[in-house]
Amino acid sequence: MMAYLLKGVSILGAAPTDLHISDGVISAEPAGQDAEVIDASGLVALPGLVDVHTHLREPGREDAETVETGSRAAALGGYTAVCAMANTSPVADTAGVVEQVWRLGREAGLVDVQPIGAVTVGLAGKQMAELGAMASSAAGVRIFSDDGFCVADPKLMRRALEYVKAFDGVIAQHAEEPRLTEGAQMHEGEVSTRLGLTGWPAVAEEAIIARDVLLAEHVGSRLHVCHVSTAGSVEVLRQAKARGVRVTAEVTPHHLLLTDELASGYDPVFKVNPPLRTRKDVEALRQALLDGVIDVVATDHAPHAVQDKECEWSYARPGMLGLETALPIVLSVFGPKWELIADRMSIAPARIAGLDSHGGDLTRAGTPANLTLVDPAARWVVDPAELASRSRNTPYAGHTLPGRIVATFLRGEATVLDGKAVK
Ligand SMILES: NC(=O)N[C@@H](CC(=O)O)C(=O)O
Ligand SMILES: [Zn+2]
Ligand SMILES: [Zn+2]
């Protein structure tokens, strides 16, 4: 096993120090002659990022992404763990499928791939999947989600919350009242009216979150809200948290930056669920992340093959890439608030996902060496052709972004060095 000495590194923006990595953990002692020395002056060390919402597309759409290509994109983005969403083909609704995804993650060996199990069979919203079997499988599933679809049936949602309570599981809801979003192509507002596109109203998200926090409160179980996108949702969450409801929430980098005005050019790269909202929503989401009303940044990395994305707006699949640009976008929005970034992108997501070996304290000897090194001064231009993802649907093509991932370590082994994946 390699040993490393990160010379002159700044841990979360603190004064430069030397960081020793050996035997897979942070070590108090220099490892001696054999350690590879990395000049880390000017670089910031963060606990390895953890994504609670990633679409890896395997099994079923390996033309868009595989566990391996998505893992590589994640490592290059500074991630050491990702939670793989269940909307694969076949759906990850059995112990067999989640174990397959988990095993593919182990084989790729670039990040910890933690499968999310479906709440309902085939994501059909009718019959509960075998949540217990997925939880007790080798994959040890803790998060369940029908993401892509909402668990719209309130009775089914209640039963799922009750069921996972036994093993401290969590239901991650894609909050969308389907009757209010029929035919929706973008956010319902001034821009959709001008473009003549059917809108997804903010209330379609807010109504489900309001219902679900009440259900979670009633059951005393854990709810996680995927990709929160509106100012109204933030207010519902703020009130629920003030009452002590066991609810956590995520926001994506794109909802922290981009607005519905971008639909004006009808470029489907900006088509995503939930849709890009207004400037007012963006401001409220930023404030909510600062306040902790929203707990984490999650990418909702949603790779799509060219033919599913480069077509007429109404035919294009919703979703955009996220793993390789998440940290730079967050850095561009909030600046070098390293404590905040570490909490919202590593510590809190690791806690939500139950990934105990991630999001650790890098100043403590014995902490598993899951970390990433960022060069905050480096600026780079996003070139879709250079991304490690198998897909190209980034909304940031041609953007100059701050912050480059220089190295990532998974249990003390480098997965990224000099900005390049090691395998
Ligand atoms: N976000 C998206 O627009 N698409 C996601 C599904 C989802 O997150 O709802 C996908 O799987 O492509
Ligand atoms: Zn979703
Ligand atoms: Zn998603």
DSSP string, 49-107: EEEEEE---TTT-TTT--HHHHHHHHHHTTEEEEEEPS-SSS-S-SHHHHHHHHHHHHH
pLDDT at 393 over 80: yes
Asked if residue 56 belongs to a known ligand binding site, the reply is yes
364-373 b/e (C-beta count within 10 Å ≥ 16 → b):
eeebbbbbbb
pLDDT band at 31 (very low <50, low <70, confident <90, very high): confident
- Catalytic annotation, residues: 300
Question: Which position has the token pair 């060996």?
Answer: 109
284-313 b/e (C-beta count within 10 Å ≥ 16 → b):
bbbebbeeebbbbbbbbbbbbbeebbeeeb
Q: According to the model, what pLDDT value does residue 1 have?
A: 83
Q: According to the model, what pLDDT value does residue 32 have?
A: 77
pLDDT band at 33 (very low <50, low <70, confident <90, very high): confident
Q: According to the model, what pLDDT value does residue 23 have?
A: 96
- Cβ < 6 Å from ligand 1: which residues? 55, 87, 147-148, 174, 272-273, 300, 302, 317-319
Q: Tell me, yes or no, if the pTM score tops 0.90.
A: yes
Cβ pair 334, 403 in contact under 8 A: no
Q: According to the model, what pLDDT value does residue 397 have?
A: 98
Question: Which position has the token pair 């955009």?
Answer: 320
Mean pLDDT (whole number) for 305-334: 98
The whole-angstrom separation of Cα 259 and Cα 281 is 9
Pocket test for ligand 1, best of 87, 185, 304 (most atoms within 8 A of CB): 87
Cβ pair 205, 233 in contact under 8 A: yes
Q: 173-206 pLDDT, tens per residue? A: 999 999 999 999 999 999 999 999 999 999 999 9
pLDDT at 30 over 90: no
The whole-angstrom separation of Cα 134 and Cα 266 is 41
Asked if residue 393 belongs to a known ligand binding site, the reply is no
Q: Which atom of ligand 1 is nearest to the CA of 226?
A: 8
Cβ pair 51, 82 in contact under 8 A: yes
The whole-angstrom separation of Cα 407 and Cα 10 is 14
The whole-angstrom separation of Cα 199 and Cα 203 is 11
Asked if residue 370 belongs to a known ligand binding site, the reply is no
Q: 238-290 pLDDT, tens per residue? A: 999 999 999 999 999 999 999 999 999 999 999 999 999 999 999 999 999 99
What is the distance of C-alpha 93 from the center of its chain? 20
The token pair at 233 is 């949702």
How far are the Cα atoms of 119, 142, 196 from residue 122, in angstroms, in the given order?
9, 18, 33
The token pair at 210 is 């309001």
Q: Measured between alpha carbons, how far apart are the two ends of the chain, in Å?
A: 16
The 10 Å Cβ neighbour count of residue 128 is 17
Mean pLDDT (whole number) for 361-379: 98
Strands 170-173 and 143-144, by their bridges, are parallel
Rounded to two decimals, the ipTM of the complex is: 0.99
The whole-angstrom separation of Cα 299 and Cα 306 is 20
Q: 57-103 pLDDT, tens per residue? A: 999 999 999 999 999 999 999 999 999 999 999 999 999 999 999 99
Please give the distance, rounded to the nearest whole angstrom, from the Cα atom of residue 410 to the centre of ligand 2.
28
Pocket test for ligand 1, best of 273, 317, 389 (most atoms within 8 A of CB): 273
Please give the distance, rounded to the nearest whole angstrom, from the Cα atom of residue 16 to the centre of ligand 1.
40
Q: According to the model, what pLDDT value does residue 314 have?
A: 97
Mean pLDDT (whole number) for 344-357: 98
Please give the distance, rounded to the nearest whole angstrom, from the Cα atom of residue 365 to the centre of ligand 1.
39
Task: Please choose, from the candidates 272, 260, 259, the residue with its C-alpha nearest in 3D space to the C-alpha of residue 176.
Answer: 272
Asked if residue 318 belongs to a known ligand binding site, the reply is yes
